[in-house]
Amino acid sequence: MKAHLTRQTLIAGLALAGFSLAAAPALAQSAAKIGAPAPAFEAVDSDGKTRKLSEFAGKTVILEWTNHDCPYVRKHYTSATMQTLQKDMAKEGVVWLSVISSPVGEQGHVDGAKANELTKSRNAAPAAVLLDPNSKVARAYGATTTPHMYIIDPKGTLAYMGAIDDKPSAGAASLEGAKSYVRQAVAELKAGKPVSEASTKAYGCAVKYAPVS
């Protein structure tokens, strides 16, 4: 009995010594939360200009995480769905910011010139393309996929985060009859109504994160 107890205690002691707390990954603590102020950021755009979220105060802002080589992103661009959405939003006075978070050497990484060329060749219409090669903005928002959409209302509050539509597929056929969560949220915001589906599960390729420096 006694020897048994001593051994138990020893094992217990060892277990305690070896016990380490699993730290929750950084994304679990990302500040992006529906109804809370959208995380502030500062990033250089494809023209080399430093842009801040605060400069768009008073306007609705859409963040679009993108990676031009991701098949899910390609579905929305080759069909021109994304460009149409960007233009329609611009007409509504909404500021559209495309965010590229791939670090150097990863799929989707571009420099400013390449980003501008992509905008031109695809006939896209973002207000600006933000380059986030250190994935800082992505971490602040907890972006997981490309595309991943965020809508910030004129008061700077996060009003929507999630998928671009309700058809999680890379196949072009899935665009037909898809419900655009972005159009729905913007229309509801404009009508002064609460966003009915404020957070959905984003789908697509994983955002290629830069290692934490």
Partner 1 sequence: MAYPLTRQLWRPVVLALAVLAPGLAQAAESSAVTSPRVTATLLSSRDAVAPGERFQVALVQKIAPGWHTYWANPGDSGEPTRIAWTLSQGATASEIQWPAPKAIPVEPLVNFGFEGTVLLPVEITVPAEAKIGERLTLQAAATWLVCEKICIPEEGTLTLDLPVASAAVADAAAESRIEGTRARLPAPAGFRGRLAAEGEALALMLPGLPAAATDLRFFPLSDTLIDHAAAQDMRRAGDAAALRLARSSAFKIAGGEIAGVLTYRESGLSRALSVTADVDPVLVGAAAAPATPPATVSIPLPAEGADLTLWAALLFAFAGGLILNLMPCVLPVLFIKALGFAQLAQASRSQVREQGLLFLAGVLVTFMALATLVIALGALGTSVGWGFQLQSPPLVIALAVVMTLIGLNLLGAFEIGASAAGVGHGLASRGGRLGAFMTGALAVVVATPCTAPFMGAAIGYAVTQPPLLGLSVFLSLALGFALPVVALSFAPGLLRLLPKPGRWMLVLKQAFAFPMFATAIWLIWVASVQAGPGGVLAALVAVLAAGFVVWLVGVTRGSGFGRLASSLAAVLVACGAGWFVVQSAVPEATQARAGDTQVWTPERVVALQAEGRPVFVNFTAAWCITCLANERVALSRQEVKDAFAELKVVYLKADWTNRNSQIAMALAEQGRAGVPLYLFYPGSKGAQPEILPQLLTPDMVVTAARRAAGKEVRTAAR
Q: Which residues bind partner 1 (CB under 8 A)?
A: 8-9, 11-13, 15-16, 19, 21-28, 32-36, 69-72, 106-107, 139, 142, 144-145, 161-162, 168-171, 194, 198-209, 211
Burial label for 98, CB within 10 Å (0-12, 13-18, 19+), is buried
Q: Report the residue number, 127 or 181, with the smaller CB distance to partner 1.
A: 181
How far apart are CB 21 and partner 1 at their closest, in Å?
6
How far apart are CB 30 and partner 1 at their closest, in Å?
8
Residue linked to tokens 């149409």: 84
Measured from the Cβ of residue 99, the count of other Cβ atoms closer than 10 Å reads 26
Among the residues of the chain, which ranges form H helices?
2-18, 71-78, 81-91, 112-122, 136-141, 181-190
How far apart are CB 67 and partner 1 at their closest, in Å?
9
Q: Report the residue number, 126 or 204, with the smaller CB distance to partner 1.
A: 204
Q: Report the residue number, 51 or 108, with the smaller CB distance to partner 1.
A: 108
Measured from the Cβ of residue 181, the count of other Cβ atoms closer than 10 Å reads 24
How far apart are CB 180 and partner 1 at their closest, in Å?
16
CA distance 205 to 133: 17
Cα–Cα distance list, 145 to 92, 102, 114, 205 (Å)? 26, 11, 21, 5
How far apart are CB 51 and partner 1 at their closest, in Å?
24
Closest CA to 78 of 140, 25, 121, 142: 121
Q: Report the residue number, 114 or 167, with the smaller CB distance to partner 1.
A: 167
Q: Report the residue number, 21 or 191, with the smaller CB distance to partner 1.
A: 21
